[in-house]
Structure 1
Amino acid sequence: MQLVKVGLCAFGMSGKVFHAPFLKEHPGFFLSAVTERSKEESREKYPDAKIYRSVEEMLQNADIEVVVVNTPVQTHFEYAKMALETGKNVIVEKPFTVNVQEAEELVELAEEKGLFLSVYQNRRFDRDFLQVEKVLNEGILGTIKETEIRFDRFRTEPGGKQHKENPQQAGSGSLHDLGAHLVDQAVRFFGFPEKLFADVFSMKGNEFANDYFEILLFYKDNLRVRLKSSVFSKEAHYAYTIHGNKGSFLQERSDNQEAELVAGALPLYGKDWALPLKDADGILNFINENTETERILTLSEPGNYMDYYQQIYEYIVFGYPLPSPGMEVMQNMKIIDAALESAKEGRIVNLV
């Protein structure tokens, strides 16, 4: 099996949970280098990975083919550009960049260099997202008329991370953080919208970056898609509410991969590894072919973040499609930028 050498730009939560374990367990990858500015936390689990004290040092000296830019979003553009200019393929954590101009420049540079650029949209491999995708593809709901996608939390106190909470830093706040997932999912389900209207602000006060957003996406044929997130949601809502002319589907946000990884679970290569659910996590209510109403409690199948790295490997080795390529996710940045513009000016913003 061809071995692909990879370097991590950071070993914080993202590196420890979402990247390093998968690179270690996938037989086609070798975690060759890790950037840790002062600590050596990676050494215990990844002793074969050489530790560098800066991204610049790693890029200049490490024998790697792929670089994972998993640093704060404010540095994504700088490090991804640096990696591309040194001839490395790049995986960028979401959100892609702080604005669409940076995303466009990186996409152009990757194309110019003949390198790949992929954005780590791991929520495409959540069980709940995959279940919604399955129901939509089956067409059981008929023509979709209204959809709401939510990602709520109950975090009423500041977390202390300046790159996420300082309103003076571009790219901070929930819109770039959780919104990067919701926008991506809406576009995956329904394509690029025609226009939008957004409300984006901080419930905790103006001294903090936005922690609430509501984006209304307008599609042709009178489809409306609402994306919403709040940090003052003690009681959970359905994460996905979908209404069509033949029925409705309600889906909980039920994926447990992140929690299991944080607790120390190891992802398995070639098989499902996340724990199965014990109870139904969805409700499907529709009119069947006999014009009778059916109401079914649904149980989603496990998701698997390993599938992202498997697709990266298959792209490198076999030339299969690249998962979440930069060109594709760049469109998401247009929606995020437009949402900020809409909220600031209090108007509908045209996208096409």
Structure 2
Amino acid sequence: MVRVGLIGFGLAGASFHAPLIACVEGMELAAIATSRPTERFAGAVRHADPMALIDDDSLDLIVIATPNDSHAPLAQAALAAGRHVVVDKPLATDDADAVALVQLARGTGRLLSVFHNRRWDSDFLTVERLLRDDALGEVQLAELRWDRFRPAIKPGWREEGGPGSGLLNDLGPHMIDQAIRLFGMPDAVAGDVTTQRDGAGVDDYFEIVLRYGARRVTIGSASLVAAPRPRFALHGTRGSFVKFGIDPQEAVLRAGGMPTDSGYGIEPDSQWGVLTDAQGTARSVRSEAGDWRGFYRAMRDAIRGEGDVPVDPADAVRGLRIIEAARAG
């Protein structure tokens, strides 16, 4: 049994990490560090101080689901204490701190991974399948977008000024990680990052173009889009695939559901993407079943010595470097 300690019990900790860990065979959510109530996971010991949890020698894995600017120092403390570590994205607020964590993990012989759970989204798994099957031919244009309609500023650290805040730090790591998984590291990066809403203190719009020779991959998000653009749009020499809507897992978990619920991770056919071939014939493509538990199953196996970590932290470092290049323009 892999005993897990979770630091942070806000949206990410309470709605995502805790239910996933609790529903993975061979893992036990043994402790939670938070000032918030944890009755839903009453079997976990509650700590007010994260360091008390980190110092608990009975724990194998520490999961960090706290505000972004605390990721690096908490991960450093957990690795130094001899624990394996999972950090919610981003790994750190800059690539220098991220590289230092990777080096520390290597030096201590502990495992380090980053919660890029969107690799287990239904739509992304479907895109990966289409590319494996060469259904689109040579993809020369790809667009990955994640739009919102939030005219009002939400309270909380994500939309307040400070290290690690802003839309690019929030959604960028997921989308950049997906692009790297599909196409590798780009030859060049161009970015446009700005603030569009009245009263916003952080970026709420970004557009990043990744250049791969003649191929262009655009990653974008905006906060004033009432009619969202396609989540994925890929165009190749054999056809195009266009997919609207967001993987359903987050909505289920936010509403208090569990990964063991019937139909979890299954998209209705009304949300399936459309594949259009070179002759202009269009057909719906069944979405793969999404399951974020795949991340923690792989982490469990890695701790047991039965495989690699689910996300190489070096991938997160690459993503942070793309974010920094995008901010530079």
Distance in 1 separating the partners of 2:154 and 2:245: 22
Does the Cα contact within 8 Å between 2:191 and 2:327 map onto a contact in 1? yes
Quote the residue 2:77 is aligned against: 82
Q: Check if 1:188 corresponds to 2:181.
A: yes
- Unmatched 5+ stretches in structure 1: 343-352
1:62-141 equivalent positions in 2, closer than 5 A: 63-141=58-136
Quote the residue 2:141 is aligned against: 146
Aligned-residue RMSD, C-alpha: 1.7
Deviation of the 1:295 alpha carbon: 1.6
Quote the residue 2:46 is aligned against: 51
Quote the residue 2:268 is aligned against: 277
Residue 318 of structure 2 aligns with an amino acid whose one-letter code is: Q
Does the Cα contact within 8 Å between 2:122 and 2:265 map onto a contact in 1? no
Q: TM-score, normalised by structure 2?
A: 0.96
Distance in 1 separating the partners of 2:149 and 2:286: 25
SS of residue paired to 1:61: coil
Does the Cα contact within 8 Å between 2:122 and 2:247 map onto a contact in 1? yes
Distance in 2 separating the partners of 1:22 and 1:248: 34
Q: TM-score, normalised by structure 1?
A: 0.90
Quote the residue 1:164 is aligned against: 158
Quote the residue 2:316 is aligned against: 329
Quote the residue 1:224 is aligned against: 216
SS of residue paired to 1:64: coil
Deviations 1:233-282 (A, max 9, x none): 1012111111111211101234111111122222129x963344142521
Do the aligned partners of residues 203 and 93 (structure 1) sit closer, same or farther apart at CA in structure 2, a change above 3 Å counting? same
Do the aligned partners of residues 207 and 150 (structure 1) sit closer, same or farther apart at CA in structure 2, a change above 3 Å counting? closer
Residue 111 of structure 1 aligns with an amino acid whose one-letter code is: R
Distance in 2 separating the partners of 1:206 and 1:197: 26
Identity %: 33
Residue 277 of structure 2 aligns with an amino acid whose one-letter code is: F
Deviation of the 1:26 alpha carbon: 1.7
From 232, 253, 256, the equivalent of 1:261 is: 253
Deviation of the 1:126 alpha carbon: 0.7
Quote the residue 2:14 is aligned against: 16
- Unmatched 5+ stretches in structure 2: none
Deviation of the 1:151 alpha carbon: 0.5
From 228, 231, 241, the equivalent of 2:233 is: 241
SS of residue paired to 1:63: coil
Q: How many residues align?
A: 329
Quote the residue 1:214 is aligned against: 207
Deviation of the 1:164 alpha carbon: 1.4
Does the Cα contact within 8 Å between 1:255 and 1:302 map onto a contact in 2? no
SS of residue paired to 1:118: strand
SS of residue paired to 2:265: coil
